[in-house]
Amino acid sequence: MNKILINSFFISLIAVFGAAAQEQKDFSLHSHNDYLQTVPFWTAFSAGANSIEVDVILKEGRLMAAHEAASINSDQTIESLYLDPITKGIKSGLISKIDFHLLVDLKTEAYASLEVLLEIMKDYEYMLYSSGNPGGLKLIISGNRPNPEDYSKYPEWMFFDYQSKELGKGLPWEKIGMVSMSFRQFSVWNGKGRMVEEQRKAVQDFIDLVHSFDKPVRFWGSPDSKSAWKAFYEMGEDYINTDHPIAAAEYLSKLGQNVYQNTNFHEVYYPKFDVDGAATPVKNVILMIGDGNGLAQISAALFANDNQLNLTQLKNMGMVKTQAADDFTTDSAAGATAYATGEKTNNRALGVDPSGKELANLPDILDSYGFSSGIITTDQLTGATPASFYAHYPERDDSDHIAAYLSKSKLDLFVGGGKSRFEKEMVNLRNAEFTLVESLEDLKGERVGYFAAEYSLPKVLDGRGDYLLKSTNAALKFFEKKKSPFFLMVEAANIDSGGHSNSTSMIVSEMLDFDQVIGEVIRFADENPGTLVLITADHETGGVSIPQGDIASQTVELAYHSDDHTGIMVPIFAYGAHSGDFRGVYENTEVFHKIMKLLKEYHQK
C-alpha cells in the first residue's frame, strides 16, 4: 500500500474515532520517534497522543526527518510529515483543537538548526501558540539545544526540553516545556512484573520533584509494555513514552473499565464436610450455573473478597469441556442443553438434538422418579440457560415459541424475569395449575411461578439487590414443604454479560452475588444430608485473564481476549453426597449422566 493510500486510510479512521481519542485526558502519550511510524503524525493523532516526536537533521538548508544522515529520505521533512498534515487537518476540520505539541529532537548543531526552523515556521504562524492564540501549536526543542540563558531569545511558541536531575528555582522555567530523562538513570526494569521498590521510589521521587515546579515529565528509553504503561500512569508520568501509541491508548483508555476495587464484601460459610464425598444416598440435586464463569472470573472475585469465597472452600472439583455439536465454542443454549439432557446439540438449539428431535430433560425425566423440580435465574425465563430445562426448540431467540413450552413442562417452580414474554401464556400456565404469585414470600402450593420483572432484571450494580439469594432461599423452603426429593437449577446469568461487555465491575460483582447464594446452598446441604450441590458454568466468556491486582485493597485488573464465548474448559465444584464422583476432566454431557447414574442407584420409577 503506497503512502497516499495509507494516509487516506488513516484520515478516514480519524473522522470516525480521532476526535474521541483527542478528548481522552486521563493520560497523555508521547509518540516516540513518530516519524518512523508507517503513517507519521496521523497514527499519533488518532491515538490521542499529546506529544509527538520528530528527529531532524539539518542538511543543505532543510530539516530532514531522520535519526542519522544515512537514513535521510528527501521526501521526508518536518514540513511534509508534520506541519503540512496539521495544516490540512485544521482546514478540513479533522483537527478541531490543537491539544498536542511537537517535540523536535535536533540531531545537528542547535543554533544553526533553529535558525532554519524559525524561517520554516514563518509559513505556519497562524497556527502557532502565542499569548493571543493560547490554543496554538507549541514546539518543544530537544536533543541539541541552545544554552538555557538563550531560551528567552526564542519565540513564544518555542519551548525547550530540560534534561537534568538537577532542578532549581534559577532555571528558565517559563521556557521549559517538559523535563525528560533517560529511564535507565533510575531503573533497569524491563517492563515485566513489578519494579524493584527502591528503583520505583527513585522514579516516583523524580516525578514529584518535577511536578513541584509545575512542569510535565517524560522518560525516554523506558519499557514499552502494558505493565509499564500502567506503572507510569499510576506514578503520574505526564507523557508516557511509547513506540505503539494506538495500542497504549487502547489499553490505558480501558483501565477504568478493566480495574475494579470491590467495596461490598461478604463473609464465607465454612462447610461441615460431614458427608462430603460419602457414598450415601442422593436425595436432592442443586445445579448452580454461573453463565460465562471461568477460572479467571472466579479468581477475580476471590481476590476482590479478601481472598476468600464460599466456592473455594470446596474440596471436590473437576474440569468440563464445553464444545457444542456443531462448533468448537458453545453458546448458552447448547451448553445448558448438554447439562439438561446429556446430549450435545447445535449452537442456538434448546432441548433438541442436532436434527431437531426433542430430548428429554432432567425435570421431565426426574418427574417419573417422584422428584419435584425448579429453575431460578437472574435472566429472563426465556433465556437460553433456563429455557434448556423446559423448552424444545431449535432457535433460542424465538421467545414466543419458547415461552409456550413452560406450561407443558414438568417444572414445579420457576422464578425469573421476562414476564412480558409470557403475555399469551398466562391462561395456559394457570391451566397447568401454576399459581402465579406476586412475591417470593408467596411461594406456596403444588406448582408456583414468580415473574420477578416485566423485562430484564437489573444488574447488581444497578440495584438488583439480593434477589438471587432471596429467590434461592424461598425455593428451598418451597421444596422442603413438598417433602419430596427435588432438582433445582440456579443460574447467575450476568457474569456472562460482564464478559461480553468486558466489564470487570460487572464480572466481579455478579460473581460475588452468586457466591453468596453458593454459601447458603452449601449451608442447606449441611442441614439436609443427601443433598448434592454442583457449581459450574456453561462456558467461559471474554477470554479473561488477570494481569494485576492487589489483595490488600481488594482490587483486580482483568484483561480480555474476546467479547464472546471461548472454548476454555470451565471448572465444576461439587459438595455433599457422592461429590467425589465429579472429579476429573470430562465432557459437559457427563454431568447429566453422572447425576442420572446416582439417582437411578437410589430412586425407583
Domain regions of the chain by residue span: 3-178, 261-265+290-565+578-602
DSSP sequence for 538-591: S-EES-EEEEEEETTTTEEEEEES-SSEE---EEEEEEETTGGGG-EEEETHHH
Mark whether 355 is an active-site residue: no
pLDDT of amino acid 530: 96
Angle at 374 between CA 577 and CA 345, to 5 degrees: 85
Query: Is 291 known as a binding-site position?
Result: yes
Query: Is 462 known as a binding-site position?
Result: no
Which listed residue (31, 51, 113, 332) is catalytic? 332
For residues 573-603, one letter each, b for 16 or more C-beta atoms within 10 angstroms of the residue's C-beta and e for the rest, the string is bbbbbbbebbeeebebbbbbebbbebbeeeb
Kindly report the pTM of this predicted structure: 0.90
Query: Is 539 known as a binding-site position?
Result: yes
Strand order in the sheet with 316-321: 435-437, 448-451, 413-417, 372-380, 486-492, 284-290, 531-536, 570-576, 316-321, 584-587
Query: Is 491 known as a binding-site position?
Result: yes
pLDDT of amino acid 605: 85
pLDDT of amino acid 180: 98
Tell me the β-bridge partners of 418.
Answer: none
Tell me the β-bridge partners of 130.
Answer: 133
Q: Which amino acid is at 61?
A: G
User: Given the C-alpha cell 485493597, which residue does it identify?
Assistant: 553
Give Cβ neighbours of residue 151 (< 8 Å, ≥ 6 apart).
160, 172, 175, 176
Angle between helices 295-304 and 504-527 (to 10 degrees): 90
CA-nearest of 506, 485, 505, 499 to 538 is 499
Provide the residue count of the chain. Answer: 605
Give Cβ neighbours of residue 122 (< 8 Å, ≥ 6 apart).
none
pLDDT per residue over 157-191, tens digit each? 999 999 999 999 999 999 999 999 999 999 999 99
Provide φ and ψ at 236, rounded to 5°.
90, 20
Below-50 pLDDT ranges, the chain = 1-3, 5-6, 15-25
CATH second-level architecture of 261-265+290-565+578-602?
3-Layer(aba) Sandwich (3.40)
Query: Is 156 known as a binding-site position?
Result: no
Give the count of beta carbons closer than 10 Å to the beta carbon of residue 536: 24
Provide φ and ψ at 512, rounded to 5°.
-65, -35
- Cβ–Cβ < 8 Å for 594, 581: yes
**Nearest-angstrom CA–CA distance, 271 and 279:** 18
Task: Give the chain's mean pLDDT.
Answer: 95
**Nearest-angstrom CA–CA distance, 495 and 512:** 10
User: Given the C-alpha cell 484520515, which residue does it identify?
Assistant: 11
